[in-house]
């Protein structure tokens, strides 16, 4: 996922214009971004066409690709990084982590939410800090209230003229100071107001002692679902945000980060990285400074931020690196597949990809038919999970929940247990899949394993005929289903919904299909045994899965051959004109080729691709 982060340190009595003039301390800031995904442009009315005359000084980072964005006639503060937003000023730094799932919904724009909340938050802080007060009344920051107002203004700004949906976490650190009440002449000391809602983080380090001073507590509804502000979320700043006051010292480093850094670097690694980067900076590395380099001053925070993001990126892109998220995931029993699920955003991306693969290779379509066993319905109830919402999040599409007769009977069998009435009522809302294991024939309901295997693979030929997704808590059921081709498997582990990686048989099949495509790409024709084609044929009327009819496949091939999806097929058009250009045989070649194709089609599943390729080479 994205990993914006900002690093701040403070310098005393730094004379600067702006809202912090009267404050005795200021942040020295730097920030670094790493977005896996290019941010989407903001929708109107927030986006104005780019101005050629000058650029927004707060939005010129090359990765943000921001054009000039406005709200209420004011330039939107901060930077966008994927769906996230970051902001740095000399009195406030923040990182809001927009929830990426919104990007798949119409009218969803988490990046807008994360940025607007941060923008309004920063404005509220400045406005209150600068307010003229009666003599003797000191300014006392109230960050949660600022965030509440920012939240309300964001709701308003995203409601009209268009409605834009999204959610975001919010984390920020405002720098202020304190004075001992007993001694009016005592010097002020810096005091940090850290506000958090969700799972982004603020860390405070003391590089001098290589020590972690403070860390925000992550707030979760359940694993992988942080508290968040926005559409349909019950969380609000006033109710749920937490604020801590942290006494800090000059030269402490304050980091505001989204999970991109925290998921990939352990605390000790973050500390090590910050400390060593500051040392490097002090010794003259990391680029030119604007002055004294001690403790990372004079522009060193930018270098520190860059180094930290670089370190996190190394871990994030290394499929074998261990990371805090991975450790957490192992604890949670998540299935591991390389680095692809090392981060929340990545896992969701991984699931999307998985479902795309199931779609391409096995013809899965929304709404996905999900067969639920009794136990997963009970488990969801135990964790107060909305099962259907969880399934839609995991499968990233609409679902049609289904339950078999036998599973229903499993629930009835437990109807005396507390809370079961509600569970049964819930289960009744799901579509009943008639498994035909009638009570007359089966006084006892079949086991989940027996019932589901007869429903999913009725002929026992290892085929998921009706393209079911199986959501089962039983390991034995999932084990069995892994042997059936193309069955997406879902279960709940400690309140986390997990989709298994493609099972060996399924993945192998997919690979074979890829290899086939590869060959076809070389050939310019399509192999006859590919599942993709089977699917196309299925769609054309659910007939002849093996493609025995010669007419229809031929047609498909003619059309598909030249613009095959495989990059290697790019080679093909090059060859063709050459061949055609040879002049003497322009007619003979296509004829011959067509002969290969039709023969392939006739022989059905057998692979003619290799022979044909050989012949083709001979031709050249």
- Does position 254 interact with Zn ion (CB under 5 A)? The reply is no
Query: CB 435 → Zn ion: shortest distance, Å?
Result: 3
Closest to 286 in 3D by CA, of 275, 269, 270, 299: 299
- Does position 20 interact with Zn ion (CB under 5 A)? The reply is no
Query: CB 491 → Zn ion: shortest distance, Å?
Result: 19
- Does position 117 interact with Zn ion (CB under 5 A)? The reply is no
Can the peptide bond before residue 367 be classed as cis, meaning omega within 30 degrees of 0?
yes
**What is the chain's alpha carbon radius of gyration, rounded to the nearest angstrom?**
30
The three-class DSSP label of residue 11 is strand
Query: CB 407 → Zn ion: shortest distance, Å?
Result: 7
Give alpha helix (H) positions in 524-587. 531-539, 551-560, 571-581
Query: CB 447 → Zn ion: shortest distance, Å?
Result: 9
- State how far the Cα of 411 lies from the Cα of 423, in Å rounded to an integer: 8
Cβ distance to Zn ion smaller for residue 293 or 433: 433
Footprint (CB under 5 A) of Zn ion, residues 507-546: none
- Does position 437 interact with Zn ion (CB under 5 A)? The reply is yes
Cβ distance to Zn ion smaller for residue 40 or 449: 449
Token look-up 């001098």 returns 208
Cβ distance to Zn ion smaller for residue 445 or 521: 445
Task: Write the binding mask 168 to 187 for Zn ion: x where contact by CB under 5 A, - elsewhere.
Answer: --------------------
Q: Which helix (H) or strand (E) holds 457?
A: none
Strands (E), 558-620: none
Residue 208: C-alpha distances to residues 145, 235, 253, 274, 403 (Å) = 34, 38, 10, 11, 61
- Does position 371 interact with Zn ion (CB under 5 A)? The reply is no
Query: CB 446 → Zn ion: shortest distance, Å?
Result: 5
Cβ distance to Zn ion smaller for residue 357 or 447: 447
DSSP state of 508: H
- Does position 215 interact with Zn ion (CB under 5 A)? The reply is no
Question: Tokens at residue 1, please?
Answer: 């996922």
Footprint (CB under 5 A) of Zn ion, residues 379-408: 404, 406
Q: Terminal CA-to-CA distance of the chain, rounded, Å?
A: 48
Query: CB 358 → Zn ion: shortest distance, Å?
Result: 24
- Does position 435 interact with Zn ion (CB under 5 A)? The reply is yes
Footprint (CB under 5 A) of Zn ion, residues 439-478: 446, 451
Query: CB 529 → Zn ion: shortest distance, Å?
Result: 33
Cβ distance to Zn ion smaller for residue 372 or 406: 406
Cβ distance to Zn ion smaller for residue 412 or 518: 412
Query: CB 364 → Zn ion: shortest distance, Å?
Result: 23
Per CB under 5 A, which region of 239-247, 385-393, 427-435, 480-488 contacts Zn ion? 427-435
Those residues with Cβ within 8 angstroms of residue 540's Cβ, 6 or more apart along the chain or in another chain? 552
Those residues with Cβ within 8 angstroms of residue 2's Cβ, 6 or more apart along the chain or in another chain? 33, 34, 35, 36, 37, 81, 82, 83, 84, 97, 258, 260, 345
Q: Which helix (H) or strand (E) holds 313?
A: helix 300-316
Number of residues that bind Zn ion (CB under 5 A): 6
Closest to 166 in 3D by CA, of 122, 121, 123, 116: 116
Cβ distance to Zn ion smaller for residue 129 or 446: 446
Positions in the binding site for Zn ion (CB under 5 A): 404, 406, 435, 437, 446, 451
């Amino acid at each position: 996922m994205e990993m914006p982060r900002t690093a701040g340190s403070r310098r005393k009595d730094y004379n600067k214009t702006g809202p912090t003039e009267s404050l005795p301390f200021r942040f020295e800031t730097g920030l670094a971004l790493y977005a896996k995904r290019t941010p989407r442009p903001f929708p109107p009315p927030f986006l104005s066409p780019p101005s050629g005359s000058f650029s927004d000084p707060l939005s010129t980072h090359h990765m943000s690709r921001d054009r000039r964005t406005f709200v209420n006639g004011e330039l939107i503060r901060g930077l966008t990084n994927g769906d996230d937003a970051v902001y740095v000023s000399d009195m406030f730094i923040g990182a809001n982590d927009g929830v990426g799932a919104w990007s798949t919904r119409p009218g969803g724009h988490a990046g807008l939410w994360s940025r607007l909340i941060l923008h309004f938050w920063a404005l509220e802080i400045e406005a209150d800090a600068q307010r003229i007060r009666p003599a003797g009344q000191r300014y006392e920051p109230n960050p949660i209230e600022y965030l509440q107002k920012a939240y309300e203004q964001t709701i308003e700004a995203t409601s009209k003229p268009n409605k834009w949906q999204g959610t975001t976490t919010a984390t920020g650190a405002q720098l202020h100071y304190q004075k001992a009440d007993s001694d009016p002449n005592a010097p002020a000391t810096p005091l940090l107001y850290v506000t958090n809602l969700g799972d982004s983080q603020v860390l405070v380090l003391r590089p001098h002692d290589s020590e972690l001073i403070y860390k925000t507590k992550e707030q979760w509804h359940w694993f992988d679902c942080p508290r968040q502000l926005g559409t349909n979320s019950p969380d609000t700043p006033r109710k749920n945000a937490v604020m801590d006051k942290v006494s800090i010292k000059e030269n402490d480093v304050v980091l505001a980060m989204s999970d991109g850094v925290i998921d990939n670097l352990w605390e000790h690694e973050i500390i090590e990285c910050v400390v060593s980067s500051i040392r490097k900076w002090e010794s003259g590395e990391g680029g030119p400074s604007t002055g004294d380099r001690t403790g990372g001053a004079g522009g060193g925070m930018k270098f520190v931020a860059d180094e930290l993001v670089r370190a996190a990126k190394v871990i994030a892109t290394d499929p074998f690196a261990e990371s805090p998220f991975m450790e957490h995931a192992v604890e949670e029993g998540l299935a591991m597949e390389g680095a692809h699920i090392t981060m929340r955003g990545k896992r969701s991306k991984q699931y999307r990809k998985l479902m795309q693969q199931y779609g391409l290779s096995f013809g899965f379509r929304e709404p996905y038919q999900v067969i639920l066993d009794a136990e997963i319905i009970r488990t969801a109830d135990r964790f107060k999970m909305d099962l259907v919402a969880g399934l839609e999040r995991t499968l990233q599409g609409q679902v049609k929940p289904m339950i078999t007769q036998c599973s229903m009977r499993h629930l009835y069998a437990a109807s005396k247990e507390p809370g079961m009435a509600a569970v049964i009522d819930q289960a009744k809302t799901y579509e009943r899949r008639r498994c035909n294991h009638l009570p007359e024939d089966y006084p006892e309901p079949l086991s989940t394993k027996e019932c589901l295997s007869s429903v999913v693979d009725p002929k026992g030929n290892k085929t998921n005929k009706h393209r079911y997704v199986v959501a089962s808590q039983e390991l034995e059921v999932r084990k069995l289903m892994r042997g059936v081709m193309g069955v997406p498997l879902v279960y709940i582990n400690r309140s986390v919904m997990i989709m298994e990686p493609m099972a060996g048989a399924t993945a192998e099949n997919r690979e074979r299909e890829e290899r086939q495509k590869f060959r076809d790409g070389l050939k310019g024709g399509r192999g006859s045994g590919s599942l993709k084609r089977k699917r196309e044929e299925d769609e054309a009327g659910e007939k002849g899965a093996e493609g025995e009819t010669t007419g229809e496949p031929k047609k498909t091939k003619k059309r598909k051959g030249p613009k095959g999806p495989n990059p290697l097929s790019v080679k093909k058009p090059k060859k063709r004109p050459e061949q055609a250009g040879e002049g003497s045989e322009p007619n003979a070649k296509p004829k011959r080729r067509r002969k290969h194709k039709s023969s392939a089609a006739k022989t059905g599943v057998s692979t003619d691709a290799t022979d044909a390729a050989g012949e083709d080479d001979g031709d050249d």
